[in-house]
């Protein structure tokens, strides 16, 4: 089995300090959490941006601030910027984080219901965003909420818009979407092409059980307050505390933890692209 890549979804668009006081909102808070999580064993960071009122934003200057703050305290970690839609539906604005040239960005290849909204990714938008990934050479993490999103990604690969090896993240247990069961995780992990890599992001109470399943199945793990605000005992989680828990579980079953460079090799990331983002954040 390859070493375990631990991703942290630090902030997301939905969590607030009222829901959990540990949610990092400002660039400084986000960078501090990245450092703590990296010290605990995480290597890949899924990053959103918030405005001065703590609301989700696609303002590219806010993304830049977050990147600058993270690069200062944790220059070696892999950054994955969000292209999600909760902060706005404008196509260009959603694509702009990819144009900052992070090593990775998220890419949801389909639509589904989430609490209170339709998470809309039309075929036209998917094709457009795939074109931006191709132009920039940024590696997408394909966010899979439903099985059809795998097929859509394979279609884009066939069209030459995204290149193998593909990396999938199975987001399971979101209300309105695919339930967070091990059966579903097994089905999805067996539905992707050989040579692909995958991680699982279990939502809420599904987070730690599905992370545990992925550890023994040979997949990778995403945890973090974007996906889950509480520990299994119901107490408020912290990003670093969730990483520490995953590392403990992995150690107990003999799965080693990947360093940033080991994760780059496993994901097929070109090390030469590691710092392209620095030229875009000045």
Stretch in the footprint of Zn ion (CB under 5 A) among 78-86, 88-96, 154-162, 170-178 = 78-86
Judged by beta carbon, residue 7 or residue 82, the one nearer Zn ion is 82
**What one-character DSSP code corresponds to residue 205?**
G
Residues in 154-173 that interact with Zn ion by CB under 5 A: none
Number of chain residues interacting with Zn ion (CB under 5 A): 1
| Neighbouring C-beta atoms of residue 220, cutoff 10 Å | 27
Tokens at residue 155, please?
A: 């279609």
Residue window 36-75: x/- pattern of binding to Zn ion, with contact defined by CB under 5 A? ----------------------------------------
Minimum separation from the CB atom of position 174 to Zn ion (A): 11
| Neighbouring C-beta atoms of residue 21, cutoff 10 Å | 9
| Neighbouring C-beta atoms of residue 122, cutoff 10 Å | 11
Minimum separation from the CB atom of position 243 to Zn ion (A): 17
Beta strands in 139-196 (DSSP E): 139-144, 167-172
The alpha carbon dihedral of 136, 64, 49, 28 has a sign of: positive
Minimum separation from the CB atom of position 254 to Zn ion (A): 31
Return the residue of 82, 108, 152, 239 that touches Zn ion, per CB under 5 A: 82
Counting contacts by CB under 5 A, is residue 121 touching Zn ion? Answer: no
Contact predicate 122/108, CB 8 Å: no
Tokens at residue 99, please?
A: 């144009």
Binding interface with Zn ion (CB under 5 A): 82
């Amino acid at each position: 089995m390859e070493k375990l890549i631990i991703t942290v979804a630090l902030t997301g668009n939905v969590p607030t300090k009222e829901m959990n006081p540990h949610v990092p909102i400002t660039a400084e808070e986000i960078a501090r959490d990245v450092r703590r999580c990296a010290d605990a064993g995480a290597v890949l960071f899924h990053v959103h941006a918030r405005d001065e009122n703590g609301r989700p934003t696609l303002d590219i200057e806010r993304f830049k601030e977050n990147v600058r703050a993270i690069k200062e305290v944790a220059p070696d970690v892999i950054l994955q910027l969000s292209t999600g839609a909760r902060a706005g539906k404008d196509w260009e604005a959603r694509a702009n984080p990819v144009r900052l040239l992070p090593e990775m960005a998220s890419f949801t290849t389909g639509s589904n219901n989430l609490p209170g909204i339709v998470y809309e990714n039309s075929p036209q938008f998917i094709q457009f965003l795939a074109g931006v990934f191709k132009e920039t050479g940024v590696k997408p993490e394909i966010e899979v909420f439903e099985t059809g999103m795998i097929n859509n990604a394979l279609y884009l690969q066939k069209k030459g818009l995204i290149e193998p090896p593909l990396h999938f993240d199975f987001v399971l247990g979101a209300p309105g979407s695919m339930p967070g069961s091990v059966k579903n995780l097994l089905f999805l992990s067996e539905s992707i092409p050989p040579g692909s890599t995958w991680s699982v992001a279990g939502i809420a109470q599904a987070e730690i059980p599905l992370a545990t399943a992925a550890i023994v199945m040979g997949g990778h793990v995403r945890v973090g307050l974007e996906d889950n605000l509480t520990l299994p005992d119901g107490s408020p989680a912290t990003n670093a505390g969730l990483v520490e828990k995953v590392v403990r579980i992995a150690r107990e079953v003999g799965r080693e933890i990947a360093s940033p460079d080991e994760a780059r090799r496993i994901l097929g990331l070109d090390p030469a692209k590691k710092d392209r983002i620095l030229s875009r954040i000045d």
